Structure 1
Amino acid sequence: MLAPGFFYFVIFKYIPMWGVLIAFQDYQVFQGFLASPWVGVKHFERFFGDPAFWLLFRNTFVLAFYNLFFFFPLPILIALMLNEVRQELFKRAVQTLIYIPHFISWVVVVGIAYIFFTTEGGIVNEWIASLGWEKLNFLVSEKWFRVMVVSELMWKETGWGTIIFLAALAGVDPQLYEAARMDGANRLRQLYHITLPAIRSTIVILLILRLGSFLDTGFEQIFLMLNPLNRQVGEVFDTYVYSIGIQQGLFSYSTSVGLFKSVIGLVLVLGANYTAKRFGEEGVY
């Protein structure tokens, strides 16, 4: 039973890790890994000295922070709300409805966003115009780009994110709630003193894991939302790697950018795990 998962991670996760070696080479496709000349940290120096570095770092960090601040707590809140619903049929119907967007591809999600927010017949802009206001260029505006990206992520992934929290809530002993009610605790008190402490360790572990992919802002979504008018706030590490690595063929340079992002994620995971243990939580190791 373990074999499929084991071989999947070995073949698609661990073996490809050796590819980071080309970040320290002037990699030539026809010469391969072993014959390509080694150049040390040349590509990292070039990247850190590139004026685009701080633009990419700022855009990626801001989007990652927005995702963490606005998106991460939302599945917890929705799970807590669903846990309070006593009508099982209604609860399951809501769960199904909020799970469905997870299975829709980003191409379709961005297409839906275009249909709703375009100035040429978009539903939202037509409604704004009907109120006598000026239409807003949501799709090409730097001001609205990050709002659009985070909102799409929240709509698509919030329902799926509630699964783990609902599973953790299902493990809470009902006798704790009965004892609390006998002591006169209302629903809010039960939530604060029983429910939240019961899922605290789950929240901490998922937060630590989330920090590991903190700078992964979602290539496909960002790439589809980018255009020349919002690129100044939308270009992130992932889209930059695609541009210079795939389109321009600078494999070693793009690998150094990806490796830098991965190292930042590792540092964040180690730091968050250490902090969690200092506060008495389990952490991930």
Structure 2
Amino acid sequence: MKILITGASGFIGSRLVEALNENHELTLLTRQPGKTRQQLGGQHHYLASLDGLEDLNDIDAVINLAGEPIVAKRWSEQQKQRICESRWNITAKLSQLILASNRAPRVFISGSAIGYYGRQGQDHIDESASFHNEFSHEVCQKWEQLALDSALNTRVCIVRTGIVLGQGGALAKMLPPFKLGAGGPIGDGKQGMSWIHIKDMVRLIEYLLTHETCQGIFNATAPNPVSNAEFSKTLGKVLHRPAVLPAPAFALKLMLGEMAELLIEGQYVLPKRALDAGFNFEFTELETALYDVLGR
């Protein structure tokens, strides 16, 4: 299968490329083709831009993972614009190319995030849930709609991703204080943390790629979300470190501004549609997932 992947050099994308490498012909869209070639290998095709393309007639599938990291920097108005445009612009262009194709890709898998739902309190929700309107929802709602615009010409799957656990990503940012014995819950610790092991993240994308009955919205989260307090306790256990020092909500708001809401608020998100479609998670319990990632 000929597959076009955006965001291929990122945390999820690089592992996906590794998984798809053996059986598929990959074209990788990246702003730095030379650097990404060194990272991912010279056997792939590389594009620096979609400019100049009139269609995707020669592509069988598109996987769209591009986007400015949402927690990389404080949310100034300029940073919010970068977060939005890095997702919206490329997704709109991909949909335009798909709609312009006489022989369109058979499937378009496009990223999103469980931030779509906004804050949800203690409720356990699935893909049918309503949303709380805030910045994370606004980003995801338009991001998803731009991908769904191509549904007239191809099968579209939207993947709403939770916290992905692997060597890198969000977990790498969490580890330093825990390793020093200074980790602990955020705020009251009751907020939901919906996680997924990187192996299951990649496997789910592969599943959607090859199962033609799958389309629409899919939560990429393990079946057993936990509270922030439980996550902190389990991570401390795996690292053999105490995890009792809380991070006060007001201090996070002072340091991070609006972005702190991602940490203070949360969601308990269930992958109902993935399970209904027959996907089996390898990692369903947080402790097992963390032991696998951290090798302890």
Higher relative contact order (CA 8 A, sep 6+): 1
What's the TM-score bracket when you normalise by the shorter of the two chains? under 0.3
Q: Normalising by the residue count of structure 2, what TM-score does the alignment of the two structures yield?
A: 0.21
TM-score, structure 1 normalization:
0.22
